[in-house]
């Protein structure tokens, strides 16, 4: 297993729809193992393949939950069904997200409180479960990466402007920027 560099906002693979995984083989399982290793080194709760420069529809997660779902898993070619997203403004204390590809920054975002996740594991076996609360938020966040969206693309105007200003200040928005979990300082201070 290998820890891989995490791409930063502006890398083209992060901003386009990822392609379906068509072959479940040792190469895919090796990629999944590397993703778990990278997510652990980054102290992440989830990591989508585009975040390591791979334009494929899969993500890994690691989150202790109350939904009866294993704490760590992978979903390949996921489909999400969501409950309604509240139209209320996000609570800046309760609904704050961060992203390994927008490192070190946090902004509030309203998400659905429930989701059903369907897809496959790394061997091509069906996966089907429900998630609530923060676990549901994590899964929605990772799924968005597969459609070429980062959470900052969903922010309300006030926070979107702050995020874009911070990205410009950090020199992001151009291809080729990465950070290396376990080598570079942890952007979230874990």
Residue 10 lies in a domain: yes
Report the catalytic residues.
142
For residue 117, the enclosing domain spans: 6-179
Q: How confident is the model at residue 190 (pLDDT cuts 50, 70, 90)?
A: confident
Distance, CA of 147 to CA of 139 (rounded, Å) = 13
Q: What is the pTM of this model?
A: 0.96
Residue 145 assigned as binding residue: yes
Residue 34 lies in a domain: yes
The tally of domains found in the chain comes to 1
Can you give the CATH number for the domain in which 159 is found?
A: 3.90.45.10
Residue 186 lies in a domain: no
Residue 47 lies in a domain: yes
Residue 15 assigned as binding residue: no
**Residue 152: both structure tokens together:** 């900052």
Residue 189 lies in a domain: no
pLDDT tens for 14-50 read 999 999 999 999 999 999 999 999 999 999 999 999 9
Residue 190 assigned as binding residue: no
Residue 44 lies in a domain: yes
Residues 94-123 have a mean pLDDT of 97
Distance, CA of 54 to CA of 76 (rounded, Å) = 13
Residue 55 lies in a domain: yes
Distance, CA of 167 to CA of 170 (rounded, Å) = 5
Residue ranges of alpha helices (H) inside 56-185 are: 133-146, 157-170
Residue 123 lies in a domain: yes
pLDDT tens for 138-187 read 999 999 999 999 999 999 999 999 999 999 999 999 999 999 999 999 99
**Residue 3: both structure tokens together:** 């820890």
User: In three state form, how does the secondary structure of 12-76 look?
Assistant: HHHHCCCECCCCCCHHHHHHHHHHHHHHHHCCCCEEEHHHHCCCECEEEEECCCCCCCCCEEEEE
**Residue 177: both structure tokens together:** 């920027």
């Amino acid at each position: 297993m290998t820890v891989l560099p995490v791409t930063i906002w502006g890398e083209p693979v992060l901003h386009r729809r990822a392609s379906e995984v068509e072959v479940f083989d040792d190469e895919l399982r090796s990629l999944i193992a590397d993703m778990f290793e990278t997510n652990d080194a980054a102290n992440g709760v989830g990591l989508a393949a585009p975040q390591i420069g791979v334009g494929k529809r899969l993500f890994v997660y690691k989150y202790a939950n109350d939904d009866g779902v294993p704490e760590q898993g992978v979903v390949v070619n996921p489909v999400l069904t969501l409950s309604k997203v509240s139209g209320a403004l996000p609570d800046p204390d309760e609904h704050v997200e961060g992203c390994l590809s927008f490192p070190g920054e946090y902004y509030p975002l309203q998400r659905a409180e429930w989701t059903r996740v369907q897809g496959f594991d790394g061997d091509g076996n069906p996966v089907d479960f429900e998630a609530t609360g923060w676990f549901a938020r994590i899964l929605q966040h990772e799924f968005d990466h597969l459609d070429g969206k980062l959470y900052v693309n969903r922010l309300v105007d006030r926070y979107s402007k702050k995020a874009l200003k911070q990205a410009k200040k950090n020199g992001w928005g151009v291809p080729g920027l990465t950070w290396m979990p376990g080598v570079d300082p942890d952007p979230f201070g874990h």
